[in-house]
Each structure stands twice: as structure tokens, then as C-alpha cells.
Amino acid sequence: MFVGIDLAWNDRARTGLAALDDDGRLAASTSVRSNTEIDTWLDTNTSSVPKVIAVDAPLIVTNPDGQRPCERMVTAAFGRYDAGCHASNTSKPYFNPPRAQVLADRRGWNPDPGSNGSGVCLEVYPHPAMVGLFRLGRILPYKGKRGRTVEVRRTATLDLLDRMEDLDQLDVAENERWQQLRRAADEATRPMHLEGIEDEIDAIFCAYLAWSWRHRREDLQVYGDIISGYIVAPPPPTHATTPRVPRNAPRASGDAHHPSHVSVSFSVSGQPATFATAGERAWRDVVEQAAAEAMNGRPTLQGRLSVQVDFVTAQRHGKHPGWDLDNLIKPTIDALTPVIGPREGQWRHAQPDDERVDEIVAKKRPAEADEQPGARIVVLEIAAHTSGTTGHSSPMSCSGSGATTLH
């Protein structure tokens, strides 16, 4: 059994709990508040001492002020992806001692990451772990933060759930509780709807990190040490970051259907194809279908747009020349009509309104072992729609193997 805990700093806030079986499948999850509720759930859902427990909360804090060394290390590795750490120190009452340390002592768990026995308790941090494992260009904005609309958070939460469903070990497709979480995210219209599920989702992800610590150790490493504190996260990433939307960029005015910075994200399964090749039509069809399913009947996005595409291509064999990134982009953008709407005018075939796309950030990489080719696509409103305006020139940034930057 492997356990994940998104531990609140006190018993007034929600704590997420999750357990995976030895094969990494989701067995149970919930959210509670009090220490008694935590212990009761653990006693009920873990028949023996868990092999590994991954806790999203400071576990070892000895410094009187400032950041712990491990927090500085993680920030140095992941800060450019917006996945830096807050400061933990003993001047803050809730870290003197940390609630995670008290929990580990109460349960008899061992905080030494070098131990190979059962009951190993690790401190983890989901944001950098997601950046590393999912190769994100920036953290998913599913947490409550000033300026984030419910729609932005809802879209990001569904994006996270999609990515977690791609982790085959979790095997959540038919899990009843998982489907309840997905429905809650899909139907969320107020911040409280998302806040009621985010801790549990984080706990499930933490449980996956606990399972990975035993079965995919190469995906993780220890930042820091057991004396001054440590955080378990993926190795420092080398993939490109996603550019931030400038703070002074014009924002959409926002209404019931189009709050500012609305985004749509979805995954596509299939072999990406380049422009004017035999596979182009099939690729456009699967992208268009995935885009339509992601919109689920909602109005198309308005205003000026940014498109981010992460391609995963099949492994090259023999003398296959590979796929040019710039030629992968065009058929993909051309299939986004369900998201960005059709272009006005008389056309033999419907054309997407891609004149409103002012920024494209694209990456490609070959599929890893047992990984299926496809793409991850995010479309973001970056400025309000103004009738009668014309497009303005913006860079189209493309990174990856054989990357190209077009101006």
C-alpha cells in the first residue's frame, strides 16, 4: 500500500488522503480535517504499515528564519516554471513543530528517504513534480489565486485530471470516486466547488509519487537532507518554459461565458502528421474531435489567442527523416475550429479563424517506451475581442528537437 497526504497546516482546513494498492491502482481517497479523522481513515483504508507515504507539507524544519536549503534548491530548479517554494521556518508556529512531523511520529513512520523498509515518509511538492513528470512549460493554474477566474481553474483542474488518467498505474477510468471528482470539476461554477476537491486530487497525485519512489526511482530525486530538511521531486527539468501572459496585456472584459483569460486544454491520441502528407487528414480529424469534446457545447473563444502545443511523435525507424516542427503546427491549428470558431467569408471548406492567433508555443519530442504518440493543446484568450481590428505581428516560438523560432 502507498499513501498520499495533502496535509493542511492546521485542522481547520481540508487534508486530502489517498491510498494506492501495490500495483499503483487507486484504492481509496477522501478529504478530512482533524487528526482523529486522519488516523481513522488510515486505520480503515491501510491494512498494514504503508510502504511509502508521500506528504505535501514541510516534514523537517530546523531553521529559525528564511527558507530551508531544500526549498532554495527546488526553487533554483523549478522557479522559472513558477514552481518555487514558500519559506518554512520555526519562527512560524505551525512549523514549530511541523504538523507532518507530528503525524509521522504519531504513526511511527520513518522520515529517512534512504530507508528501504516500510513506513518511509517523504516530503513532496506536487507543483514541481507535475512540471517534471508531465513536462509542463508552467504550472497548471488550478489553485485559488488572486486574479484567477473559476473558469481558468476549472479548465486547469480538468487538464490535471486528464494527465493523471494517462498514468496507467492509477487505473482510474472506472474508479467511482474518481468519476465523482471529475464531474465535480466539470460542473464547477464557484470557487468552493473546486476547493472541495483539490486537496483530494493532490493527495492522489502524492500517492502516485509514493508509488514511484519504489517503482520508478529514476523519475525522482532528493533535494536537501534529513538534517536540514528535504523535498522529493523530479530531477531539474531542461525543457522549455511557457511564456507568461504580460501583466500589461489587454484583458477580456469578461462575461458569463467569456471571463478574462479563458483557456481550453485537451489531449489528442494519434500520430501527429505534417502539412501536405498522407496522414494530415486523419490527424486533423482526431484533433478536431478532441477539440469538440473539450468544448462540450460551450461558445468558441473570442479575442486574441495564444496556442500551446506539445507534440509526442512516434519513434523514428530506419531512414525516416522525422517530423519538422513548423510543418506539424499548421494542420493542428487548422483543426481548432471547435475552439476558435470559423473564419467569416465564403470558403469552399470551412476555415478556422486563426488570424486571431497571435502566439504559438510548440514543442516536440519522441515518445518514450510504452508511450503513445499524440499532443497536448492549450488555447488561451490573451486579449479582448474588438470588432474591426486587424491582427498584429507577434513572435511564434517553437522549441524542441530541431527547434525553430519564427518572426
The tens digit of pLDDT for each residue in 260-292 reads 456 788 888 889 999 888 889 899 989 998 888
Range of the domain at 195: 2-233
Q: Of all helices (H) and strands (E), which one includes residue 29?
A: strand 26-32
pLDDT band at 25 (very low <50, low <70, confident <90, very high): very high
Q: Are residues 177 and 285 both part of a single domain?
A: no
Q: Are residues 226 and 284 both part of a single domain?
A: no
Are 100 and 57 in contact by the 8 Å Cβ rule? The answer is yes
Burial class (CB within 10 angstroms; exposed 0-12, middle 13-18, buried 19+) of 80: middle
Are 88 and 74 in contact by the 8 Å Cβ rule? The answer is no
CATH number, domain containing residue 357: 3.30.1330.70
For the chain, what percent of residues have pLDDT higher than 90?
Answer: 62
Q: Flag the least confident range among 118-132, 246-260, 320-334.
A: 246-260
Residue 250 lies in a domain: no
More reliable by pLDDT, 405 or 147: 147
**Three-state SS for 311?**
strand
The Cα–Cα gap between 284 and 301 comes to 19
Which amino acid is located at 403 in the chain?
Answer: A
Residue 155 lies in a domain: yes
Which amino acid is located at 60 in the chain?
Answer: I
Closest CA to 331 of 306, 356, 307: 307
pLDDT band at 321 (very low <50, low <70, confident <90, very high): low
Phi, psi (5° rounding) for residue 290?
Answer: -65, -35
Distances (CA, A) of 173 to 191, 199, 281, 374, 382: 25, 20, 29, 19, 33
The Cα–Cα gap between 33 and 40 comes to 11
Q: Report the pLDDT averaged over residues 350-362.
A: 88
Mean pLDDT rounded to a whole number for the chain = 86
The Cα–Cα gap between 249 and 380 comes to 13
The pLDDT assigned to 173 comes to 80
Total domains in the chain come to 2
Residue 89 lies in a domain: yes
The pLDDT assigned to 372 comes to 84
The pLDDT assigned to 391 comes to 39
The pLDDT assigned to 348 comes to 63
Phi, psi (5° rounding) for residue 377?
Answer: -125, 135
Q: Are residues 74 and 162 both part of a single domain?
A: yes
Q: Are residues 178 and 299 both part of a single domain?
A: no
Considering the entire predicted model, what is its pTM? 0.68
Residue 75 lies in a domain: yes
Residue 257 lies in a domain: no
Last residue of a domain, one of 177, 211, 233: 233
Residue 254 lies in a domain: no
Residue 247 lies in a domain: no
The tens digit of pLDDT for each residue in 71-87 reads 999 999 999 999 999 89
Phi, psi (5° rounding) for residue 293?
Answer: -65, -35
The pLDDT assigned to 298 comes to 79
User: Cell match 486530502: residue?
Assistant: 16
Residue 327 lies in a domain: yes
